[in-house]
Amino acid sequence: MAMAMMRAMVLERPGTALVMRERPAPSPGPGEVLVAVSACGVCRTDLHVVDGELPEPKLPVVPGHEIVGEVVALGPGVEGFAVGQRVGVPWLGHTCGVCPYCREGRENLCDAPLFTGYTRDGGYATHVVADARYCFPLGEGGDDAALAPLLCAGLIGWRSYRMAGEGKALGLYGFGAAAHILTQVAIWQGREVYAFTRRGDEASQRFARALGAVWAGSSDERPPRPLDAAIIFAPVGALVPAALQAVRKGGRVVCGGIHMSDVPSFPYRWLWEERSIVSVANLTREDAREFLALAPLAGVKTEVTRYPLAQANDALADLRAGRLQGAAVLIP
């Protein structure tokens, strides 16, 4: 009997292009599922992995952690999933369950985690093996490619959004995949969104306004009113002091990315009056359950550009250059 094969876009060395490789399809181990990938979103975190900005990736590694696919095989001991079921596979791929953070219900801070597409192979492939405990049923509704960005831009975005608090005026710095999803949630909840983009990016500003943002401008502009909170998705440290100057007294600046350039020094008076800066790390499975239930209620619709799997490098280049509106999605 011929061995089943799969294709994957593989990072062999940080700072180099991905290469297409054919390899034997993996078999799921205890507690794992084998998923045939139907769509995988292209996330800015993938760029950080490929460009060598995140330390110690598994090498070679298959990037990708916004995975939608169909379960095609179950490993020993898997319960709650069936062959043929559509599932989502997110960034958080495994936690130890025994460290203080896991025991406190803060598994996003686990001391010994595994991350999909970084320290275990991800979804830039025709197949992926995943820990079943960290997969999510996606039901029957919705297009696979449209659902893919929800698995990270949506989930990490949702955690960032909740950490920003319940103020009415919300600033979003970097109007990409996460911001275009959160804008829809915020408008649905009756909030005001202020969108900040690269200077001169009129297309993203028009996009933000079309989604309901009350104001859109460049990130070096001040919004027309003080913000209750701001979330920074662009990996630019200089946006931290800019956002601090845009939020009101007691306001909060949330850094939503896994990597950011150095934050420049700034006067203490910009932080004073009980403003705060917080970062978001990863996600919990509870974050995912909350958001995946809320997204359809809020009527979230993702704007996606589809690329064939073999064009993963083109998708990454377009993301790096800011040429995308919404999210890029690979279709094996």
pLDDT at site 3:
60
In one letter, which amino acid is 46?
D
Cα 161 to Cα 102, 111, 202, distances in angstroms: 22, 24, 25
d(CA 300, CA 182): 9
Q: Which residues, other chains included, contact 129 with Cβ-Cβ below 8 Å and sequence gap of 6+?
A: 26, 27, 28, 29, 32, 33, 34, 35, 121
Instruction: Decide if 170 contacts 193 (C-beta within 8 A).
Output: yes
User: What is the bridge-based pairing of β-strands 66-74 and 32-42?
Assistant: antiparallel
**CATH topology classification for 5-150+302-331:** Quinone Oxidoreductase; Chain A, domain 1 (3.90.180)
pLDDT tens, position by position, 78-99: 999 999 999 999 999 999 999 9
d(CA 263, CA 243): 12
> Where does residue 140 fall: left (phi above 0), alpha (psi -120 to 50 degrees), or beta otherwise?
alpha
Q: Domain boundaries in the chain?
A: 5-150+302-331, 155-279
Whose tokens are 């809020």? That residue is 298
d(CA 21, CA 17): 13
Return the ∠ at Cα 19 (arms to 10 and 174), rounded to 5°: 70
pLDDT at site 159:
97
Burial class of residue 88, CB neighbours in 10 A (0-12, 13-18, 19+):
buried
pLDDT at site 1:
42
In one letter, which amino acid is 254?
V
pTM: 0.94
Tens-level pLDDT at each residue, the chain (332 residues): 456 899 999 999 999 999 999 999 999 999 999 999 999 999 999 999 999 999 999 999 999 999 999 999 999 999 999 999 999 999 999 999 999 999 999 999 999 999 999 999 999 999 999 999 999 999 888 899 999 999 999 999 999 999 999 999 999 999 999 999 999 999 999 999 999 999 989 999 999 999 999 999 999 999 999 999 999 999 999 999 999 999 999 999 999 999 999 999 999 999 999 999 999 999 999 999 999 999 999 999 999 999 999 999 999 999 999 899 999 999 99
Assigned architecture for domain 155-279: 3-Layer(aba) Sandwich (3.40)
Cα 68 to Cα 44, 159, 266, 268, 298, distances in angstroms: 18, 20, 42, 45, 20
